[in-house]
Every structure is written in structure tokens, then in C-alpha cells.
């Protein structure tokens, strides 16, 4: 397949809950093999968008195709090529780690099942704990098991909804390594996050979403370029955080020189983009 081939396409996608538009006319396309991030605050519509793409939620309007399959007309086609890490660790708490993957593997007709389950439990360092019931696992272990489960059927597309929420930094880095490895193996990865660092560390392209609408979409570098390269920030006499967006380091130093308070000069990040576009913070 050509590298720029679109694997997921959304056109005018809408979803309304109790009169509130959770997804409001989202149009975007995701290329095969990229790590694509949906960035936005909680309640922005990221999870609903993922639920539609993974056939868990039916859209009210618009079109969504995943791997060439229409999510409403050919959901089983979509389900055969995706793996999903949902926001919550939806594991069977009273079953063992091995049994959780066994059931998933049978549902997805994984062969050879035993060998594949073992390989995936080893990948997330849980093989030694395979016979332990999941309710005894820590949050990080459960998250790793959910990730192993999502990859068990060798999906072409991996969806991760807030994959590292609640994880300590070390486990978060381990998870990021697995996601990068997943991409190198040829998969497309779509993740939602409200962590700026995660979006910048992992994503080839980022869509910024606010109140159900896609308000920006580009590579992290290009998005940051739209607000300049540097930020000068300080706390003013009334205790408020003041920020100046600057084109380059020279401009930042020039502005900093004229400020009496203690100033910090740092590179711009995606939160600066979000603030400029919406006037709100992400985290």
C-alpha cells in the first residue's frame, strides 16, 4: 500500500447525548502507519469519537470508515482489524490474566492461541502472574494487560483511549515504548490524551478537539509553529500567570529583559496552541 493511504476517514461526524453535541461535525483522515493523537480536555468529545470509530457507538450523522469498512454498515469488518484499549481497564476481575486473554483470543479466532497468549503476556512482563486473578493486580499491571489484550489478534489499527491516565512515569514510558514498537510493526495507532507530553512524545500528527469540534490538525511541530517558538512566562504582582508567545529565542530574551519579575523562557508546547485557539487550558 502507498504510505499516504488513508486508513480512517471521518466526514461531518456528529453524535448527540441528551441534546448536547459530543461530536460536532468532525472531518479528518488518518494515514496508514501513523500515530495519530486526539488532544483535548476531558469532555471534549475524544472518547465519543473513538467509540464511533471502534463501533461501540453509532453516529447520529456523517460517515466514518475504518480500513475501508463503514462503521454503521459493516461493523464486523471493522472489528476484525482493530484492537482497543478503552479508558477503563475493562478486564474480568475474577478471572486470571491468562483466562482474560484466552477469551479474547477465542473471540478473535487467534491461532496458535496458547503460544500467542504467552508471547503477549511476556511482552508486558505478566507471564509469571498469568494464574493470578486480575482483581489482585495493580492499576499499572491491569493497564499492561489491557494493552496486551488489544494487540493479541494482531490488529492493523490500535485505538488507545487515554492510555496512560493514572500510571506512574516509569510505566507510562514502558507503555509508550510498546506503542512505538507497535507502529514500527506496521500498525496505525490512534490515541486520545489530555497529556501534552504524551501527544508530543508519541504522535506524528495531532488533532485538537474542543467542545466536540476539531479546531486544529497538523504535526506537533507545525502546530507549535503557529504560536511561535518560545514562551516568556511569569507571575505578576497579583499572582496571575502571564505568558508572552514569541517568534524566536531573541524576541523572548528581549521581552524578558523588560520584565521586573522572575521570568521563565521555555519552548512552546501544544497546550500553548490550545490556549491560543480556545482561551482555555487542557489539563
Question: How many other CB atoms are there within 10 angstroms of residue 179's CB atom?
Answer: 23
| Angle (CA) 256 257 262, round 5° | 60
Please say which residue, 106 or 222, places its beta carbon nearer to another protein.
Answer: 106
Please say which residue, 106 or 235, places its beta carbon nearer to another protein.
Answer: 106
Radius of gyration of the chain (CA): 21
Please say which residue, 72 or 226, places its beta carbon nearer to another protein.
Answer: 72
Closest CA to 158 of 131, 142, 179: 179
Q: Which residues would be at the binding site for another protein (CB under 8 A)?
A: 51, 54-58, 76-77, 79-80, 82, 84, 86, 88, 90-95, 99, 102-104, 106-109, 111
CB of 52 to another protein, least distance (A): 9
CB of 153 to another protein, least distance (A): 9
Please say which residue, 148 or 282, places its beta carbon nearer to another protein.
Answer: 148
CB of 84 to another protein, least distance (A): 6
Please say which residue, 90 or 136, places its beta carbon nearer to another protein.
Answer: 90
Please say which residue, 79 or 174, places its beta carbon nearer to another protein.
Answer: 79
Closest CA to 213 of 11, 27, 34: 27
CB of 283 to another protein, least distance (A): 25
Angle at which helices 139-151 and 169-184 pack, to 10 degrees?
10
Q: Cα 58 from chain centroid?
A: 20
Cell, residue 106: 477465542
Closest CA to 267 of 236, 237, 235, 223: 223
CB of 224 to another protein, least distance (A): 34
Closest CA to 43 of 154, 162, 136: 162
CB of 37 to another protein, least distance (A): 21
How far is it, in rounded angstroms, from Cα 92 to Cα 135?
8
H helix or E strand, kind and range, residue 205: strand 205-210
Please say which residue, 93 or 186, places its beta carbon nearer to another protein.
Answer: 93
Question: How many other CB atoms are there within 10 angstroms of residue 67's CB atom?
Answer: 17
CB of 12 to another protein, least distance (A): 19
Please say which residue, 92 or 218, places its beta carbon nearer to another protein.
Answer: 92
CB of 80 to another protein, least distance (A): 4
How far is it, in rounded angstroms, from Cα 160 to Cα 183?
13
Max CA-CA distance within the chain?
Answer: 68
Amino acid at each position: 500500500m502507498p504510505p499516504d493511504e488513508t486508513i480512517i476517514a471521518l466526514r461531518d461526524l456528529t453524535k448527540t447525548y441528551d441534546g448536547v453535541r459530543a461530536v460536532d461535525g468532525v472531518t479528518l483522515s488518518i494515514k496508514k502507519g501513523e500515530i495519530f493523537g486526539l488532544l483535548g480536555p476531558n469532555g471534549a468529545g475524544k472518547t465519543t469519537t473513538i467509540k464511533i470509530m471502534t463501533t461501540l457507538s453509532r453516529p447520529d450523522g456523517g460517515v466514518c470508515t475504518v480500513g475501508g469498512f463503514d462503521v454503521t454498515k459493516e461493523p464486523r469488518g471493522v472489528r476484525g482489524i482493530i484492537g482497543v484499549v478503552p479508558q477503563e481497564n475493562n478486564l474480568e476481575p475474577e478471572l486470571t490474566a491468562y483466562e482474560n486473554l484466552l477469551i479474547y483470543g477465542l473471540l478473535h479466532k487467534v491461532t496458535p492461541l496458547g503460544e500467542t497468549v504467552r508471547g503477549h503476556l511476556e511482552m508486558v512482563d505478566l507471564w509469571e502472574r498469568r494464574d493470578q486473578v486480575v482483581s489482585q493486580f495493580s492499576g499499572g499491571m491491569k493497564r499492561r494487560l489491557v494493552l496486551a489484550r488489544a494487540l493479541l489478534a494482531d490488529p492493523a489499527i490500535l485505538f488507545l483511549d487515554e492510555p496512560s491516565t493514572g500510571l506512574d512515569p516509569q510505566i507510562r514510558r514502558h507503555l509508550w515504548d510498546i506503542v512505538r514498537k507497535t507502529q514500527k510493526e506496521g500498525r496505525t495507532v490512534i490515541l486520545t490524551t489530555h497529556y501534552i507530553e504524551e501527544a508530543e512524545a508519541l504522535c506524528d500528527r495531532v488533532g485538537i478537539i474542543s467542545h466536540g469540534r476539531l479546531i486544529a490538525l497538523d504535526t506537533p511541530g507545525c502546530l507549535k509553529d503557529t504560536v511561535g517558538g518560545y514562551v516568556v512566562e511569569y507571575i505578576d504582582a497579583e499572582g496571575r500567570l502571564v505568558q508572552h508567545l514569541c517568534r524566536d529565542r531573541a524576541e523572548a530574551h528581549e521581552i524578558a529583559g523588560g520584565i521586573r519579575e522572575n521570568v521563565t523562557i521555555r519552548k512552546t508546547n501544544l497546550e500553548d496552541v490550545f490556549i491560543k485557539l480556545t482561551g482555555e487550558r487542557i489539563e
